[in-house]
Amino acid sequence: MRRAVLGLVGVLAAAGCTATADAPPAGRSSSVSAVDTAAAVRRLPAAPQMTPVDPLKCSTTTVRGPWSGPVKVEGRWRPDPDALPDETVTVTRGPDADSCPGDLPPEPDCAQAVPWTGLSVDALVHASAAQRWVSSAVPGPDGRRSGAPGDPHRVPRTMTYTVMTPRPGGGLAIGPALAAGASACADTTARTVGGTTLLRGTTVDRWAPTTGAPPTTATFLAVIDPRGVAWAQLGGPAWPRRDIDSAAAALRDALARSATEAGVPKVPSLPVH
C-alpha cells in the first residue's frame, strides 16, 4: 500500500501539478503507519484538484534559418566574397510575455556585449517589451581591386546587426539604455533626423587576441526610433566613410522594414535637429 501512495505522488509531480497536505494532529508524528496510510488513501478524492503549469508564460520562440534578414546590401557595395553570410536568428515573445517583463539594468556594463546590459537574449526581449529580436550578419564591402588574387590570411569585412521591434501599439524600453551604453562604451556621436536618433562610434573587441596584439575595433552604428531599435558592428579592416554611410542607411531601412512587417504603425515626421 505504501508503494501505491508513493506511486500516486509521483504521478501528480510528473503531471506538473501542485497539491497541499493537511498537517498531522498535535501530539502525533508526521510519519504514518500502514493503517494511517491506508486511511489516507481512502480519503483522497477521486479527481484531485491540481494546478497545471502554464507552458506559455514567459516563453519565447527561437527560429534559425539560412534566409536573408532585414538588412539588404544589394546595390550599396560589392560584397566581399570571403565574408559568408550568417544564419538569421529570430526570437519572438510568447502570448503571456506581458506578465513577466523583467527589468533593464540601471547602468551599462561596458565589459558586456552590445547593448551592454549583461542580459541573455530572452531576458532582454522580456525586459525591453520587444515582440521580436532579429540578428544576423552580411558581407561587407570588398576593398580589393577587381580580379586581385585571393589571400587566405586576410580578414573580410562583415556587418553584424540586431533589430528589435515592439508589438503593434506597444513601446520599446531598450532605446534609452542603448543610447546610454553607446555613449559610455562606444564613444558615440548622435544626431536626430525626423524623430530618429542615429548613433555612430567605435567598439573594442572584449576578447584580446591570443597573439598578444592590441584588441580589434569596429565601427558601431545604431538607430533608435519610436518603431524600434537596431544596431550594427562593422568588422574587419577599416570601412571607408562612404561605406559606413551606406551601412547606416541599410540599418535604418532594415528597422523600418521590420517594423512594417511587425505591424508597428508609422509615426508623423518631426523637424530635423
84: DSSP letter: P
Would you state the pLDDT for residue 82? 84
> Which residues does the chain have with pLDDT short of 70?
1-57, 97-98, 101, 145-152, 206-213, 267-273
* Same domain, residue pair 107 and 231: yes
C-beta separation of 247 from 239 below 8 A: yes
| Mean pLDDT over each residue of the chain, to the nearest integer | 78
Same domain (yes/no): 183, 49:
no
Q: How far apart are CA 139 and CA 161, in angstroms?
A: 11
* Ramachandran angles phi, psi of 157, nearest 5°: -85, 140
- Do residues 186 and 220 lie in contact, with contact meaning Cβ atoms separated by under 8 Å? yes
- Residue 204: predicted pLDDT: 87
Closest CA to 220 of 196, 195, 192, 190: 190
**Residue 210 belongs to some domain of the structure:** yes
49 and 158 co-located in one domain: no
Q: What is the DSSP letter of 224?
A: E
**Joined grid coordinates for residue 132:** 521580436
Distance (Å, whole) CA 190 – CA 241: 16
Q: Are residues 34 and 81 in the same domain?
A: no
What pLDDT, on the 0 to 100 scale, is given for residue 76? 93
Q: Looking at the whole model, is its pTM more than 0.85?
A: no
Based on the domain organization, do 74 and 45 belong to the same domain? no
pLDDT score at 17:
39
**Segments forming the whole domain that contains residue 43:** 1-20+29-53
Q: Give the model's pLDDT for residue 15.
A: 39
pLDDT at site 207: 59
For residue 272, is it within any domain?
no
Tell me: do 108 and 191 sit in the same domain: yes
Number of domains in the chain: 2
266 in a domain, yes or no? no
Using a 10 angstrom Cβ sphere, with 0-12 exposed, 13-18 middle and 19 or more buried, the burial of residue 134 is buried
Please give the pLDDT value at position 138.
Answer: 93
**141-147 contact pairs (CB < 8 A, 24+):** 141/77, 141/78, 141/79, 141/80, 141/239, 141/240, 141/243, 141/246, 142/77, 142/78, 142/79, 142/80, 142/81, 143/80, 143/237, 143/240
Same domain, 16 and 114: no
pLDDT value for 114: 95
Burial of 249 (0-12, 13-18, 19+ CB in 10 A): middle
Quote the pLDDT of residue 16. Answer: 39
